[in-house]
Amino acid sequence: MSAYEPVNRQYNLLKEKLLQYYQIDKNQEWAPLETKKLKEGNSNALVSEIKNRLMHLGDLNETDSTNIFDSTLTAAVKQFQGRMGLKPDGETGPAFFRELNVPVHERIQQVLINMERIRWTPATPSTDYILVNIPEFKMHVYENGKLNFNMNVVVGSEANSTVIFSGTLNQIVFSPYWNIPPSILKKEILPGIHKNANYLAKHNMEWNGGSVRQKPGKSNSLGLVKFLFPNSHNIYLHDTPSKSLFGESQRAFSHGCIRLAEPKKLAEFLLRKDSTWTEEKITQAMNLGKEKYVRLCGKNEIPVFIGYFTSWVDQNGHINFRNDVYGHDKKMAERLFSNNTIALTAK
């Protein structure tokens, strides 16, 4: 098979949506709409404009030119918000209009950029696997090639961006130590020790040779469990005591590793074929206060893909868009659209 022939099914799903967006771009000229807070029951001249736009984008199924914000529009607004990674509250506000006002030609460019990414992505595995999509701030866990569950994640901040790569998850560490990386030791821990002699004790830390580690426990920065897939970037999946961040719609806060909203759920999934690991035993291991390694052997090891997709078609057939959190789209756009060949050939 040619390296240029896309094998991932997302390519053709996006291509279908691309053709729809070309039609919208060809037939509609949309000026930016003013930002106004509106919700069900409101009446405003702007409502008919919102309905028209959502109808063409596929979120509203019927033509309706009235100015009444009704329950049908609420459902359409929620669907649009969900596709954009916004909180689906069914009300319009600054974030809603920011996404609604993105020009169609920019969405077309975004789709083309992601089609180019997917061109080099392997075929979707028919086995168990984990996909973390950085701009979506989500982890997707697949069983026998079918989606089993999704989970919110926190990824690296722009300054500490999570690396795009693949690996094999083969170890679970319950009640882990946090071996503090040299960069964090230098920037945060040593200055803390300099200011306060009790800094290490206060943060449940200790010297370990020439480095510092945080002892297992609920206050540990890795939480109660971590999941290892050996890689040169020293990136792994882990729990966190900072649960509030999972409620944010934008979740790029970490030093580069990936924090999980429901780590116990992932542990249960990975150990489900081993009858000795009951839910109770997993809970006990997470709260043991003593580090415990569990190796996943052979067929229980699971591929992990850390990807970067700002546009894709979801399980419901809806096209999604997300912000270019690390600027990778911008760099690719400079390469792809320096001349317009890709846009022309895709039509």
Whether 297 is a known active-site residue: answer: no
State the burial class of residue 329 (Cβ atoms within 10 Å of its Cβ: 0-12, 13-18, 19+).
buried
Q: Which of 257, 297, 318, 328 is catalytic?
A: 257
Asked whether 150 and 325 are in contact (CB, 8 A), the reply is: no
Looking up tokens 């690996």, which residue turns up? 167
**CA 269 from centroid of its chain's CA atoms:** 20
At 212 the three-state DSSP class reads strand
**CA 283 from centroid of its chain's CA atoms:** 26
Q: Which of 238, 255, 297, 318 is catalytic?
A: 238
Whether 238 is a known active-site residue: answer: yes
Concatenated DSSP letters of 160-188: TPPPPEEEEE-EEEES--EE--HHHIIII
What's the rounded Cα separation, in Å, for the pair 160 and 252?
A: 9
What's the rounded Cα separation, in Å, for the pair 129 and 124?
A: 9
Question: Minimal CA–CA distance to 37: which of 50, 26, 25, 27?
Answer: 50
Give catalytic residues, as residue numbers.
238, 257
